[in-house]
Amino acid sequence: MRSPINWGVLGLLIERPGYGYDLVQRFPRTYGDTLELSSPSQVYGALTALEGRGLIEPLPSEIALPEELRQPKTRYRARAEAVPAYRDWLIAQVTQERQRLELLALLVGALPHRDALVVVDRYEQHLLAERGSAPPALDGASARARRLAEHAKQLETGLALRWAAYARRELQASIDAQRTAQASASAAPPGASTGRAGGQIDDRVAPR
């Protein structure tokens, strides 16, 4: 089960039972923009998938709330198998999250130096703007969950900003070195050796 929406719904049901519309309301109040629904139908699709995997089950009618008996709604609860499955999925996410910044670095590294520097600058601007903005209310999450999330965001932003500063220094140094090499080549007298056959700079690969 790959959809993070499905796992997000399961997390809500592990906290407490709920029915479709209730979960649609709780979802954005708990996860904010960290995990967004494109449509309420995703919640109902998640319920179908989770029930099919045996991770949730309808709540027996004898323990349903009185108002739910007057207007029947299928109210779900997490089964015993849900917690270990949810825990194992979260452990797998740790590796993926760790690789996210590394992937960005590898993708940026494919660009010419000046273009890479533009990406790093924009990335840093985004981080600074996000750090300066007020955190979402997330009143659907527990106080403990909100504290954990805010601390995680602060640490992640700090780490990303340190990487951006390092990447800028590295890229700027490469740009400066390239500029110096080009200036030296331009200043060399005609016919002077450049260390390559024919006295020409090797242009088989475009300089970065």
**Is the pLDDT reported for residue 55 higher than 80?**
yes
3-state SS class at 48: helix
* pLDDT confidence bin for 208, thresholds 50/70/90: very low
Tens digits of residue pLDDT in 32-46: 888 889 999 999 999
Note the Cα 79 to chain centre separation in Å. Answer: 28
Confidence of residue 146 (pLDDT cuts 50, 70, 90): confident
What distances in angstroms separate CA 140 from CA 9, 25, 147, one per listed residue?
A: 13, 9, 13
For residue 104, being part of any structural domain is answered with no
**Structural domains counted in the chain:** 2
11 lies in the same domain as 47:
yes
* Confidence tier at 192 by pLDDT (50, 70, 90): low
* pLDDT (0 to 100) of residue 61: 65
70 and 37, same structural domain? yes
> Is 169 a member of any domain?
yes
Token pair for 138: 């997330």
Question: pLDDT, tens digit, for every residue of 67-118?
Answer: 555 556 889 999 999 999 999 998 888 777 777 788 888 888 888 888 999 9
